[in-house]
Structure 1
């Protein structure tokens, strides 16, 4: 179990390392494509559901203002930043829509790993990730359609159905299995996080490998936009919540949840609902950037705490 815990903590380095490797040796990762990516995200959501119990939602009722503030910032700061940065960096339509799409996604399971490493409020992190994931069934298609309409025609209903299929159904199935087959799920649960780490790494590396040429030739503006997006997400999430609640652990948690997106969901929705495969590239690159930022953030917090 100690190995599994260390493997989970290595998530940011594994994602970044495999993504860089896929630029050099794409053949090692591009086999994981098409339906594999869709099933991969479904597996991640199923694993997330397996780790949840009804009592995990108690946090919503105990600290509704914390959860509500985090959700509000998640679905306002990031989507509108994505829209503004797409204009500012003059991204081509397929990159612009991809950026807005991933910016409109909920927090990802990787945020829980970073919250743990940053000594944030882990229970709040898990609750916010879960609630934002459920809310994303409506919010992600709605925001993407509203903010991307000037770039490309967006099939909002298609996005809604895709989100239901790859997020809500596996998540609910996992919760039900945990409720009615606890003995079986208890044996599976320890392996859910490392499997999720492996699957998101394969999804990101595959998309980076498939988009190698366009990334190397015209992806520099996109990288800049994504770096600014996540940096501002972390900073605004932290300082706004710090002003409101004056609680460092809560502010760290909200900063992580706002600054880190479910990039795997963005990639799957992009591939299933847009004809240009390059629309998924912003999601893959987003995973790299927020993993690096999250690791730096956790490291900074630990150093500050050690000095006290």
Structure 2
């Protein structure tokens, strides 16, 4: 593992620990016992989003490498960034963490099927690949479940200390997340060799996918009357995909950097559109309460 990977992993662990400190075991047990939001979110992410991605690719006239890249993105689950944004805007953070964990496990099996279907549909060929089960499971628990659980445990054992940490957590975590983005773009995927012409070619489709993903999560939450906190969680988890996993699939497993360029363009703006989306939704929620 390179030094940059170790630094990114360390920061992500700290972020998940900081998020966990704001929760308690009751929050997580409520998500599991009141399973309606969890089931709706899983249906939305595992079934609706891939189906919508294929539908978009059949409607818009774009090169095949963008179509495959869009399917890879839609099939990739939310990640640490989605959990942090949910936490920042007071969504259902426990739901977000549980969703990230469950989806990451499910996509070990679903991503190869969906991506191979896309390759067959758009290129007339398939390839034998699978997500490394052991490495993926380690990443899920080391970067997500374990640090979040330790944060929750600290709050259970020493609430005063947890509240002191939580008081400074948001500004510190924002700085750490910015550090992660800098590391990724200038030390890793930022050197993917993408041109300005490719960015312009990919950007409209990537933006359209982003808007559709936000809308899908939001409308599903509205349709099933899940409330504001779950609206934030479902929308963000649907739209802020794990682009690191998408890079792995494109470059390492499929050996085609072209597909990864779609994820790179998406990563350039998805964090900022999520912040804008949540800011608007939170303002509307505040105004609705005041009126």
For the criterion TM > 0.5, the same-fold answer is yes
2:73 is matched with which residue: 71, 78, 102? 102
Residue ranges of structure 2 left out of the alignment (5+ in a row): 120-125
Instruction: String of CA shifts for 1:250-304, please: whole Å, max 9, x gaps.
Output: 3343222222222233334544423233433222322233223223323323543
| 2:231 aligned with 1:251 | yes
- For 1:140, what is the secondary structure of its paired residue? helix
Asked whether the equivalents of residues 11 and 180 of structure 2 are also in contact (C-alpha less than 8 Å), the reply is yes
- Mapping of 1:1-308 within 5 angstroms? 35-36=2-3, 38-51=5-18, 52=20, 54-87=25-58, 88-93=60-65, 95-115=66-86, 118=89, 121-122=90-91, 124=92, 126-150=93-117, 151=119, 152-158=126-132, 160-174=133-147, 178=151, 179=153, 190=169, 191=172, 194-206=175-187, 209-212=190-193, 214-245=194-225, 247-304=227-284, 305-306=286-287, 308=291
CA distance in 1, matches of 2:147, 2:232: 28
- Determine the structure 1 residue equivalent to 2:122: none
Normalization by structure 1: what TM-score? Answer: 0.70
Asked whether the equivalents of residues 102 and 266 of structure 1 are also in contact (C-alpha less than 8 Å), the reply is yes
Q: 1:192 to 1:258 in 2, by over 3 A?
A: same
Residue ranges of structure 1 left out of the alignment (5+ in a row): 1-33
How many residues in Structure 1 have an aligned counterpart in Structure 2? Answer: 267
Q: 1:172 to 1:116 in 2, by over 3 A?
A: closer
CA distance in 2, matches of 1:223, 1:139: 28
Q: 1:289 to 1:211 in 2, by over 3 A?
A: same
Instruction: String of CA shifts for 1:83-123, please: whole Å, max 9, x gaps.
Output: 34345444334x444332222222233334444565xx52x
Instruction: String of CA shifts for 1:208-245, please: whole Å, max 9, x gaps.
Output: 63234x34233434222211111011112212221211
RMSD of aligned Cα (Å): 3.5
Asked whether the equivalents of residues 184 and 190 of structure 2 are also in contact (C-alpha less than 8 Å), the reply is no
